[in-house]
């Protein structure tokens, strides 16, 4: 049965996070607040749960799922190598609205879709998300919407689209940014923005010491 918890109430927040932890550890789906938009999440290392996430969204394997983490340092265990400049970007923008695509460590036993040896990682700036992530570890998370529809910016929108396919909804009010994160690809020969978002090309270029035009060209 689907449960919805109002995280503005301390008791419901505590019970909601405990319920979400149990759901994730048992291969089920949860909807969680982040600073950008609401996300639908699953245990990143449970391939069946990730498959259920893709199915709930009506999304194919050609659009792999990103990973949210609860600590700066988690990327060291997920990336084959943390590229030059990545640590400076992490210090500047994490937790926050910047997703980084890196080459994944070959030892990782997961299936996030057809990611071609890469993984997209972000640490969200939201206390409920961070508390959940620190309890369960890295989560496969995508925007909480049916593919092709706008991302959900509140729990009512998420529930209207995903319904009973999700076991636990954590309601923390409207998302602060109400826009999906900026995606920066660091897996190739030069940094490249794949999706524009709250963190601008100019902001990124200033940290990397490069020209913003080179990130979008």
Number of structural domains in the chain: 1
Domain for residue 20, yes or no? Answer: yes
- Decide: 72 and 121 in contact? Cβ < 8 Å: no
- Name the average pLDDT for the chain: 96
Give me the mean pLDDT over the 159-182 stretch: 97
Domain for residue 140, yes or no? Answer: yes
Interval 150-161: pLDDT, tens: 999 999 999 999
Interval 189-201: pLDDT, tens: 999 999 999 999 9
Beta partners for residue 98, in sequence order: 182
The proportion of the chain whose per-residue pLDDT surpasses 90, expressed as a percent, equals: 95
DSSP H or E stretch at residue 194 = strand 192-195
Domain for residue 214, yes or no? Answer: no
Interval 57-80: pLDDT, tens: 999 898 899 999 999 999 999 999
- Regarding pTM above 0.85, the answer is yes
Give me the mean pLDDT over the 102-117 stretch: 93
Give me the mean pLDDT over the 26-36 stretch: 98
Beta partners for residue 30, in sequence order: 41, 168
pLDDT at 29: 98
Q: How far apart are CA 162 and CA 168, in angstroms?
A: 11
- CA-atom Rg of the chain in angstroms: 16
Domain for residue 121, yes or no? Answer: yes
Give me the mean pLDDT over the 116-144 stretch: 97
Domain for residue 85, yes or no? Answer: yes
Domain for residue 203, yes or no? Answer: no
pLDDT at 182: 98
- Residues whose CB falls within 8 Å of the CB of residue 190, separated by 6 or more in sequence, listed in order: 214
Interval 14-26: pLDDT, tens: 999 999 999 999 9
- Phi and psi of 136, rounded to 5°? -110, -10
Indicate the SS3 state at residue 32: strand
pLDDT at 84: 81
- Decide: 196 and 181 in contact? Cβ < 8 Å: no
Residue 217 banded pLDDT, cuts 50, 70, 90: confident
Q: Of the candidates 68, 67, 73, which has an alpha carbon nearest to the alpha carbon of residue 86?
A: 73
Domain for residue 41, yes or no? Answer: yes
Residue 37 banded pLDDT, cuts 50, 70, 90: very high
Domain for residue 212, yes or no? Answer: no
CATH of the domain at 183: 3.90.870.10
Range of the domain at 41: 3-189
């Amino acid at each position: 049965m689907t449960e919805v918890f109002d995280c503005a109430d301390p008791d419901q927040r505590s019970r909601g996070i405990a319920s979400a932890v149990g759901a994730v550890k048992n291969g089920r789906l949860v909807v969680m607040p982040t600073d950008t938009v609401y996300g639908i999440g699953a245990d990143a290392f449970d391939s069946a749960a990730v498959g259920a996430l893709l199915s709930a969204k009506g999304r194919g394997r050609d659009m792999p799922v990103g990973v949210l983490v609860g600590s700066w340092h988690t990327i060291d265990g997920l990336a084959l190598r943390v590229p030059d400049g990545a640590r400076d970007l992490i210090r500047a923008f994490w937790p926050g609205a910047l997703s980084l695509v890196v080459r994944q460590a070959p030892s990782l036993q997961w299936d996030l879709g057809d990611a071609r040896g890469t993984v997209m990682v972000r640490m969200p700036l939201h206390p409920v998300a961070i508390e959940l992530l620190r309890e369960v570890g890295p989560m496969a998370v995508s925007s909480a919407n049916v593919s092709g529809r706008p991302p959900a910016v509140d729990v009512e929108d998420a529930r209207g689209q995903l319904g009973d396919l999700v076991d636990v909804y954590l309601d923390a009010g409207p998302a602060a940014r109400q826009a999906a994160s900026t995606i920066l690809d660091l897996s190739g020969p030069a940094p490249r923005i794949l999706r524009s978002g709250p963190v601008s090309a100019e902001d990124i270029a200033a940290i990397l010491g490069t020209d913003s035009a080179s990130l979008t060209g």
